[in-house]
Amino acid sequence: MTSSRLAIGLAMAAMTVPAQAQQGPDQVQARQIFAKLIEYRTSEGHGQVPAMVDYLEGVLRDGGVASDNIAKLPKGETVGMLVRVPGADLARKPVLFSAHMDVVDARPEDWKRDPYKLIEEEGYFYGRGTIDNKAGVVALMSTILRLQKAGVKPRRTLVFAFVGDEETGLDEADGTTRQIAAHPWVKGSEFAINTDAGGGIFGPDGKPIIYLVQGAEKTYATFELTATNPGGHSSRPRPDNAIYDLAKAVTRIGEYRFPVMSNDLTRAYLGAVGKVTPGPEGDALRRFAANPQDGAAADAIWGDAEFVGTTRTTCVATMLNAGHAENALPQKATATVNCRIFPGVSVDDVRQQLGKVVADPKIEVKTVGAPVASPVSELRPDIERAIAQSIRKRYPEVALSPYLESGGTDGLVYRSVGIPTWASSGVFIKPDEMFAHGLDERIPVKSFYDGVEHIHDVALTLAGN
Residues in the site for Zn ion, rule: CB under 5 A? 132-133, 196
Q: How far is the CB of 447 from Zn ion (least distance, A)?
A: 16
Q: How far is the CB of 387 from Zn ion (least distance, A)?
A: 19
Q: How far is the CB of 161 from Zn ion (least distance, A)?
A: 13
CA distances 362 to 231, 248, 325, Å, are 14, 12, 22
Q: How far is the CB of 436 from Zn ion (least distance, A)?
A: 7
User: Closer CB to Zn ion, residue 320 or residue 434?
Assistant: 434
d(CA 387, CA 24): 23
The residue count for the chain: 465
User: Closer CB to Zn ion, residue 14 or residue 434?
Assistant: 434
User: Closer CB to Zn ion, residue 132 or residue 245?
Assistant: 132
User: Closer CB to Zn ion, residue 196 or residue 245?
Assistant: 196
- The set of residues, in sequence order, having a beta carbon less than 8 Å from that of 85 and lying 6+ positions away, is 69, 144, 147, 148, 154, 157, 158, 159, 160
User: Closer CB to Zn ion, residue 292 or residue 309?
Assistant: 309
User: Closer CB to Zn ion, residue 116 or residue 223?
Assistant: 116
Residue-wise over 277-316: b if at least 16 C-beta within 10 A, else e? beeebeebbbbbbeebebeebbebbbeeeebbbbbbbbbe
Backbone angles phi, psi at 281, to 5 degrees: -65, -50
Q: How far is the CB of 425 from Zn ion (least distance, A)?
A: 10
User: Closer CB to Zn ion, residue 100 or residue 286?
Assistant: 100
Q: How far is the CB of 410 from Zn ion (least distance, A)?
A: 8
User: Closer CB to Zn ion, residue 133 or residue 142?
Assistant: 133
Partners of residue 366 on adjacent β-strands? 224
DSSP output for 265-296 = HHHHHHHHHHHT--HHHHHHHHHHHH-TT-HH
User: Closer CB to Zn ion, residue 166 or residue 453?
Assistant: 166
Q: How far is the CB of 408 from Zn ion (least distance, A)?
A: 9
Backbone angles phi, psi at 210, to 5 degrees: -160, 155
CA distances 119 to 39, 113, 125, 440, 452, Å, are 11, 8, 6, 11, 18
Torsion over CA of 194, 261, 267 and 391, rounded to 10 degrees? 10
Q: Are strands 421-423 and 191-194 parallel, antiparallel or unpaired?
A: parallel
What is the end-to-end Cα distance of the chain in Å, rounded?
31
∠114-117-121 over CA atoms, to 5°?
80
H or E segment and range at residue 355: helix 347-358
Q: How far is the CB of 79 from Zn ion (least distance, A)?
A: 17
Q: How far is the CB of 265 from Zn ion (least distance, A)?
A: 21
DSSP letter for 260, please. B
